[in-house]
Amino acid sequence: MRRILALAATMAASAALVGPAAAKTTVVIGVPDWPTAAVTSEIIGTVLEEHYDAAVRKRPIGTVQLFDAIDRGEIDIHPEIWLPNSSVDVAKYTDELKTLSLAPARVEATQNICTTRETVEATGLKAVADLAKPEMAAKFDTDGDGRGEMWIGDFDWSATRIERLRAKSYGYDQTMMLLTMPEDMAMAAVDAAVALATPIVFYCYAPHHVFALHDIVTLDEPAYDPATWEVLSPDVDPAWLEKSKAGSGWEPAYYHIGYATDFAAAEPEITAFLDKMALTAEDAEAMSYAIHVDGKTAKEVADEWMAANADKIAEWTR
């Protein structure tokens, strides 16, 4: 309703200023800080401008904050909602508040702790549980404090919070320093570790270019067991970390486009396009590679993808 009222007010103001000519629909797309989300945002924005005569604004924002912004009516579209990473937020905003909807198409994904083939051969690291052993963690210590270091994600990712919880559940929060930093910095560290043949261990997800670029090994751990997972939200309980657990592998992952429920009611034609839009895991890996390895911008990658997939765009916008 907030979206509809805001749109009505905008249209009324525009009509008063310019007469009977119809105002363009303004669409705000949130842009989380990872490559595929940025490219998907560019594709959506270009399609909306070219096929639906929309005025598009893109707003860089952390994925956790993005859900609140959709609820407040500030953002209309989330280009890449990962599950189960954001399952707490999705349940809150879809089931409880009913301000968010998910497009039906999804991209299959995986999440793990990874290392390089050289690291496995040099250290004997094979399983996630090995990181809780002080003698193993010491092999990843670069600052002499007795603890190893590992990247667990960007500051604003839902996955980062869960990786911190997984470290506590497995016990390597006591032996490893859990680093949070932008993904491009973390991937540069992986590149350097491969070039220098130094040990490294890090959170990884697929589809992602790192698997095409290096010989990456996924660490062993027990398959996902729902009995070992209970993830509370910091918004619900400040003691979420102590009260939560995640003592087995990640549940099979996937991601969707999401949009504000009020926006969907106001813009059914745009929503129909978003519901049809279906990228693939192969698309996502190629997009990630093009940005991180080839050095292209998200706009360049999106334009190239759209030029090569004009038939899909035509089908989605029918």
Q: What is the mean pLDDT of residues 299-318?
A: 97
CA gap 28, 3 in Å, rounded: 11
CA gap 251, 47 in Å, rounded: 33
| Predicted pLDDT of residue 23 | 62
| Predicted pLDDT of residue 22 | 55
CA gap 260, 42 in Å, rounded: 18
Phi-psi map region of 107: left, alpha, beta (phi>0 left; psi -120 to 50 alpha): beta
Positive or negative CA dihedral for 287, 254, 40, 160? negative
pLDDT category of residue 4 using cuts at 50, 70 and 90: very low
Residue-by-residue DSSP string for 267-279? -HHHHHHHHH---
| Predicted pLDDT of residue 215 | 98
Give, as one character, the DSSP assignment of residue 251. P
- Tens of pLDDT along 128-143? 999 999 999 999 999 9
- Tens of pLDDT along 41-94? 999 999 999 999 999 999 999 988 999 999 999 999 999 999 999 999 999 999
Q: Go through the domains of the chain in sequence order and give each one's CATH number.
A: 2-108+254-316 (3.40.190.10), 109-246 (3.40.190.100)
Does residue 187 contact residue 293 with C-beta atoms inside 8 Å? no
Structure token pair of residue 67: 């859900």
Which amino acid, 11?
A: M
Give, as one character, the DSSP assignment of residue 226. G
Which is higher by pLDDT, 229 or 14?
229
Mean pLDDT computed over every residue of the chain: 92
pLDDT category of residue 233 using cuts at 50, 70 and 90: confident
Does residue 81 contact residue 102 with C-beta atoms inside 8 Å? yes
Does 1 score more than 80 pLDDT? Answer: no
Does 12 score more than 60 pLDDT? Answer: no
Share of the chain above pLDDT 70, in %: 93
| Predicted pLDDT of residue 216 | 98
| Predicted pLDDT of residue 63 | 87
pTM, two decimal places: 0.86
Distances (CA, A) of 312 to 32, 62, 242, 276, 278: 24, 29, 47, 10, 9
Does 15 score more than 60 pLDDT? Answer: no
Helix pair 35-52, 268-276: axis angle to 10 deg = 140
Q: What is the mean pLDDT of residues 244-269?
A: 97
CA gap 249, 36 in Å, rounded: 24
- Tens of pLDDT along 47-61? 999 999 999 999 999
Residue with tokens 């250290």: 123
